Amino acid sequence: MKNEPVEIADAGLQPERTIFAWNRTMVSFLVVSAVFLRWLPHYGIGMILLIAVSSSMALGILLSQRARYRRMALGVKHEKVQADVVAVLMTTLALCALGGYALFLVLGPN
């Protein structure tokens, strides 16, 4: 079946380490959302976009965790692990966009 747990004998626990790393990334996006929420009274309505993007990234990571773990576990089992290039690129682009827009709001013309 598709939703059955995948049993692997991985002494290094690669899928678990990967999931923990993505969990840390998700928590980081949530913390950034909280910081942006705190900045809302000082920098205005433009912060709503930053809060929405960082919260959406955290939610996206949360919702993709099960599929990511299953893909990693099957990859380890079949000795054919593929890097999740799309997720890493999306995260990198989101971080660059968040940083650039935050700098624009903080340092821009007020």
CA triple 31-36-39, angle to 5 deg? 135
C-alpha 55/C-alpha 30 separation (Å) is: 6
Give 69-79 pLDDT, tens digit per residue: 888 878 777 77
pLDDT, position 69: 81
Residue ranges of the chain with pLDDT lower than 50?
none
